[in-house]
Structure 1
Amino acid sequence: AELGALRAGQTVLIHGTGGVALFGLQIARLHGAQAIVVSGSADKHEAARALGASHVLARDSDWPAEVRRLTGGRGAEHVLELASGPNLDRSLQACAQGARVSVIGMLEGTTLDASFYGLVLGRVTVQGIGVGHRRALEELVRAVDANGLRPAIAASYGFDALPQALDHLARGAFGKIVVTP
C-alpha cells in the first residue's frame, strides 16, 4: 500500500490464498479497494469471499479477461504477484494502464516470463518486494491494531508435528500454518 499509493475505488488482483495473499486482501479492503483473488482451489473461494474478496476467479480459467470484464475494461491497478514464473505475463494482461505489479513470491519458479508489449505498452511498473524498513512495519502494526485485522490461520501444530505441518503447507493452506514449540 505504501509504495503503490493504493486508493479507494481501485482494484487489486491477488494471487493465492496463503498468509501474505490474505493479508494483502485485508489491507486492500481496508483502503477501500476492490480485491479480486485468483485461486486454484475451488474449496477456498467462499472463504476468500468471506474475508472480503469482491470476486474469486479460478486459476485455470481465463482470469485476465475476467478481471478486465469485472473492471469495465480498465484492468487492475495493483497486482500482488505471488506465483511468478510464466504467471507474470497473464498478470500483465489483467493490468490497467500504469498499473503496479509487486512480485512477492516464486511458487512457479525463480524466473519471470512476460511479454515486452504487456510491460511497455501498458506502462506497468514491476517491483520486487522484500523485507521493508522499520517505519513501514510500525505503520502496518498500527493499522492492524487500529482496525482489528487478524491473520487467517489455517491450522496450528506442535513442534512434534512439524512433518504434518509441512505436508499441510505443501498441499496449500488457506492462510498461515503455525508451529509452536
Structure 2
Amino acid sequence: MMRAVQLRAPASLDNLTPADLPDPGDPGPGEIRVRLAASSLNFHDFAVVAGMIPTVDGRIPMSDGAGTVEAVGEGVTDYKVGDSVVSLFFPDWDDGDSPSMSALTNVPGDSTDGYARDVVVTPQHWFTRAPQGWSAAEAATLTCAGLTAWRALFVDGVTQPGSIVLVQGSGGVSVFALQFAKAAGAKVIATSSSDAKLERLKALGADELINYKAQPAWGARALELTGGRGVDTVVEIGGAGTLDQSMLATRVGGHVALIGVLTGIVGPVKTALLMSKNLRVQGLTVGSRAQQLAMIAGVEANAIRPILDQHFPLENLADAFRHQASNAHFGKIIVDI
C-alpha cells in the first residue's frame, strides 16, 4: 500500500482526503519507479482542488513532484537507481516552441493523477534529473513555477545584461523571475502590496520597489523609474486586473509575459495602447522538457537556490492550500511526503 491524498467530489479543500491505495508495483519497459519526497504548491493546483479546473472524483492532485529513482524497467537508459529526479508539468512536450494541443493536456494532478502520494511508476520521460546537490523540496519548486519564469525571460523573452524586468508580487514565479533576471545581469523592478515583502525582494536583488497599494498607478511609476523608456519584460501574474498597468510600464516593442489570472479571467484590454506601443503580449503555460533541462543547467551554473516558505506534511495538504490562499507566503510552499 502507499499513502496518498485524493480529491473527492465535489472539489473543495475540505474534500482533500488521505487514503491508502495499492502500491503501483515494479516498472515495466521504459518506466521508472520514483519514491517521492516533496511537492510544491502552485495556483494551478489550487484551481484544481478548489473546483475551478474540473477533474474526476478521486483525483490525486499536485503537478510538482521530486524524489529518488527506486527501480528502472527494461530499456531505461536515462536513469539508474538512486538518481534524484523532478517531474515535468507537460510530460509529452519534449522540445520545440509549438507543441501539439494533445501534449498540453496530459498534466499530472489535473487530467491524470499527480504527486500527492508516496511513490509513482511512470514512463521515464515524465521526469528529468534534478539539480546537483538540491534537496527534493528544492527540486520540487522547478516543475511549474521555476520553468514558467525561465520561459518568460529566456525563451519567449530575450533577457540579458542591461535588460529591465518587472515582477509582480512574491509568489513562486515572481521570486524565481527576480533571481533568474539578476543572474542574467538585468535590472529588476518589483511590486507588492506589502512593504515587508518588498524589503525581502530587495534583499534578493530587486533594484526598484513599488507598493501597488500605495501607488495604484504603478505602471506610470515603473515608466518613471526607467526614465520614460519602459521595461523590456513584465512577468504578468495578475491577468485582467493588472494588464493595463503592465502595458503602460512596458517599453515600445516590449514583452508582457501573460502567466496568471489572479485578478480575473476576462476583462477589457486597451487595444489602442497595445497597438501604439507595438507590444507583444504572450500567454504561456510552463514549458518543455528541453527547456526544463536548460533551466536546471542554468541554476547549477549560477548557484541559484529556490526560496522556500513553510513546509506541510502530506496529510495536511489542505492546510498548505489555506496558507496559500491567505497570501501570506513568500516563495514556494512545500509539501513533505
TMscore range, shorter length: over 0.9
In 1, distance between residues paired with 2:248 and 2:176?
24
Distance 1:52 1:171 in 2: 25
Tell me, what secondary structure is at the counterpart of 1:154?
A: strand
Aligned to 1:175: 331
2:261 maps to 106
Question: For the pair shown, which has the larger CA radius of gyration, 1 or 2?
Answer: 2
Deviation of 1:71 after TM superposition, in Å, equals 0.5
SS of match in other structure, 1:29? helix
Q: Structure 1: where are the runs of 5+ without partners?
A: none
Partner Cα distance (1:112, 1:2) in 2:
27
- Which residue of 187, 196, 208 corresponds with 1:34? 187
State which drifts further: 143-152 or 154-163. Answer: 154-163
1:124 aligns with one of 275, 279, 284: 279
Q: Does 1:96 align with 2:259?
A: no
Greater share of helix: 1
Deviates more, 1:87-96 or 1:125-134: 125-134
- The Cα of 1:86 is off from its aligned counterpart by 2.3
Give the RMSD, CA atoms, in angstroms: 1.2
Segments of structure 2 that go 5 or more residues without pairing to the other structure are 1-153
1:145 aligns with 2:300: yes
Q: What is the letter of the counterpart of residue 162 of structure 2?
A: G
Match of 1:11 in 2: 164
- Which one-letter code corresponds to 1:136 in the other structure? Q
2-side partners of 1:110 and 1:169: how far apart?
19
Identity %: 35
Question: Counterpart of 1:21 in structure 2: which amino acid?
Answer: S
- Contact 1:86 1:114 (8 Å CA) reproduced: no
Which one is further off, 156-165 or 142-151? 156-165
Q: Which residue of 2 aligns with 1:154?
A: 309
Is the contact between residue 220 and residue 245 of structure 2 (CA under 8 Å) also seen in structure 1? no
TM-score, scaled to structure 2: 0.52
* Residue 8 (structure 1) shift: 1.2
Q: Does structure 2 conserve the Cα–Cα contact (< 8 Å) formed by 1:88 and 1:113? A: no
- Contact 1:64–1:91, Cα closer than 8 Å, also in 2: yes
Query: Normalization by structure 1: what TM-score?
Result: 0.95
Letter in 1 for 2:317: L
Deviation at 1:7, TM superposition (A): 1.9
Q: CA–CA distance in 2 between the matches of 1:109 and 1:162? A: 25
- Per the TM alignment, residue 112 of structure 1 is displaced from its structure 2 partner at its CA by 4.6
**TM-superposed deviation, 1:170:** 0.8
CA distance in 1 between counterparts of 2:234 and 2:268 reads 16
Match for residue 55 of structure 1?
208
1:142-167 deviations in Å (ceiling 9; x for gaps): 00111111111111111232232112
Aligned to 2:155, the other structure's residue is in SS state coil
